[in-house]
Homo-oligomer: A and B are copies of this chain.
Amino acid sequence: MRGRRPSEGNPLPKSGGDARLPGARRNVGIRELAAHLDLSPTTVSRVLNHSGGAFRIAEKTQERVIRAAALLNYEPNAFARGLRKRRSFTIGVMVPEISEGYSAQVLGGIEDALLQEEFFYFVVSHRHRADLLEGYPRLLLSRAVEGMIAVDTPIDQDVPVPVVAVSGHSRKHHEVTIELDHLSAARFALEHLRDLGHRRIAFIRGQSFSSDTRVRWNAIRRVCADLGLRIHPELVVQLEGTAPGSEPGYAAARRLLSTRPRFTAIFAFNDASAMGAIAALHEAGMHVPRDVSVVGFDDIPSAATMHPSLTTVRQPLREMGQSAAATLLRLIRSAPSRPEVQSILVSPTFIRRHSTAKAATS
C-alpha cells in the first residue's frame, strides 16, 4: 500500500485524482516527464525508483519530480522496465481446477500475501490432463514468471525458477513444500472415533491422482497402529473419476455398501465425499449418526450447514496459500541460495459437529 511519496509530512494534496480531463490521460513517458521538468530521464528514473538510496539527487529536485509524476499521472511502462531489470513481479500458480473450493481457498491466501508485495499472479488449471501438466510450466515461463506455486499438482520437469508446492509430495523438483500435518489430522479423527467406541471403521481414500491420498493414507495406517485400531481391507474404498462434488463419494459408498459389511463409522477423504457417502447411507436406510458416524475432511463451507452438520478435520487452506506465497517471495529474493527448509507443516483443526456419535452397541 505504500505508494511513492516524499517521506516528509506534507505530501501532495491529492491532486493526482482528477485525471479525467484530457491532457493527463495520454500515456506519458519518462522522457515527456523529464522534458517537462527540464531534467534528464536518468534523474527522473533515479528519483522514482529510490535507486541506490536517493542516489545523490537534491531533496528539492526529488520533490519536484515526485509531484510532477503524480500530476501527469506517470506510470512506468511495465514492458520496458521488465526488459531492463529482468523482473516481472509476477508468479504462476498451477491448480487442478480453479472453480473448485480447495484451489480457490488456497488462491485466496496466495493473493493475500502477494498483492501486499506488489506481485501479481497467473493461474492455470490443468485438470489432470497430462499435456497441460507438461505444457503449462513452459507457458508460464514464457510469460517471465519469477516463481511458481503448484497446488496439489506434481511438477515433473525442473524449471529455472523457485517452486513451492502446496500439498505436493513428490519432493523431487520443488524447493519447498507446504503440507498439512497429516499425522495430527488422522489422530484427531481416529481418536475421536475410538473414544466414541467405534472399532470397525470404513475408509474412503482419495483419487490416485491427488497428492494427498498417499500421505494421508500412510498417516492413517500409522495412527491406527498406534491406537490399536485394525484396518479391515473390505472396509476400504477409493474415490474414482475426476467429477467434482459429492458424486464420487456417493459412488464409493455404494461400492462399500454393496457387500453389506459391518461398520459403524466412515472416515472420508474430504467433505464432498463425506456428503456423498451420507446420501448413500440414507438411501440404504441408515441414519447418520445413529447407525453410522461420518467424519469428513477440509471443512468446506457447507459442512457446517448441511444436515446433519459434518464433523470434520479442517485444513487451513488460506493460511497454506499465504505461507506458500510468502515462502516463494523469500526464495525469489534470496537468489539461488539453498532452500532454507524442505517443508513447512501446518496444523489441522478438528471440528466436532453432529455427524458423529457413540457407536451403536451391536
| Chain A residues at the B interface, C-beta cutoff of 8 Å | 20, 23-25, 75-80, 82-83, 88, 97-101, 103-105, 107-108, 111, 115, 120-125, 138, 141-144, 157-158, 160, 244-246, 272, 275-276, 278-279, 282, 300-302, 304-307, 318
B104 near A100 with CB under 8 A, answer: yes
Task: Enumerate chain B residues within 8 angstroms of A318, measured Cβ to Cβ.
Answer: 99
Given contacts A111-B125, A276-B305, A306-B307, contact A120 B143 (CB under 8 A): yes
Given contacts A80-B83, A123-B121, A304-B245, contact A107 B111 (CB under 8 A): no
Smallest CB gap from A142: residue in B:
B75
Other-chain residue from B79, B100, B138 in contact with A79 (beta carbon distance below 8 A):
B79
Is there an interface contact between A111 and B82, defined as CB atoms closer than 8 Å?
A: no
Distance of A75 Cα from B80 Cα, bound (Å): 18
Checking B103, B123, B157 against A123 with a beta-carbon cut-off of 8 angstroms, the contacting residue is B123
Q: Is the CB of A108 within 8 A of B98?
A: yes
Cβ contact of A75, chosen from B115, B141, B300, cutoff 8 A: B141
With A and B bound together, what is the CA distance between A142 and B124 in angstroms?
Answer: 22
- The answer to whether B98 and A101 touch across the interface, beta carbons within 8 angstroms, is no
Number of copies: 2
Q: What's the least CB distance linking A189 to chain B, in Å?
A: 21
Contact A142 B305 (CB under 8 A): no
Chain B residue numbers with a CB within 8 Å of A306 are 275, 302, 305-307
Please indicate which of the listed interface residues A77, A98, A107, A160 has the most CB atoms of chain B within 10 Å of its own CB.
A98
Residue from B79, B100, B104, B144 in contact with A144 in the complex, judged by beta carbons closer than 8 Å: B79
Complex CA gap A318/B103 in Å reads 16
A80 to B124, CA, bound (A): 23
CB contact between A108 and one of B99, B142, B272 (< 8 Å): that residue:
B99
Give me 24 A-to-B residue pairs in the complex whose CB atoms sit less than 8 angstroms apart, sorted by A's number.
A75-B138, A77-B83, A78-B82, A78-B144, A79-B79, A79-B80, A79-B83, A79-B144, A98-B108, A99-B104, A99-B318, A100-B104, A108-B125, A122-B122, A123-B123, A245-B301, A245-B304, A246-B304, A275-B302, A275-B306, A302-B305, A302-B306, A306-B306, A306-B307
B120 lies within 8 A of A120 (CB): no
Given A121-B123, A282-B307, A306-B307 in contact, is the A107-B98 Cβ separation under 8 Å? yes
For residue A83, which residues in chain B have a CB less than 8 angstroms away from its CB?
77, 79-80, 83
In contact, B98 and A104 (Cβ under 8 angstroms): yes
Which residues of chain B have C-beta atoms less than 8 A from A304's C-beta? 245-246
> Nearest residue in B to A136 (C-beta to C-beta)?
B115
Contact A24 B158 (CB under 8 A): yes
Instruction: Return chain B residues, CB-CB under 8 Å to A160.
Output: 24-25
Contacting pair B125 A78 (CB below 8 A): no
For the complex of A and B, the 9 pairs showing the least CB-CB separation, nearest first, are: A99-B108, A302-B302, A79-B83, A104-B104, A79-B82, A275-B305, A246-B305, A245-B301, A307-B307
- Contacts A305-B306, A307-B306; A97 near B108 (Cβ below 8 A): yes
Specify which chain B residues have a CB less than 8 angstroms from the CB of A20 in the assembled complex: 158
Name the one of B75, B115, B141 contacting A124, with C-beta atoms under 8 angstroms.
B115
Separation of A79 and B76 alpha carbons in the complex (Å)? 13
A312 to chain B, nearest CB (A): 13
Give Cα A97 to B109, complex, Å.
11
Q: Which residue of B lies closest to A125 (CB)?
A: B111
**Which residues of chain B are within 8 angstroms of A103 by Cβ–Cβ distance?**
104
In the bound complex, how far is the Cα of B301 from the Cα of A97, in angstroms? 15
Please report the C-alpha to C-alpha distance between residue A88 and residue B83 in the assembled complex, in whole angstroms. 13
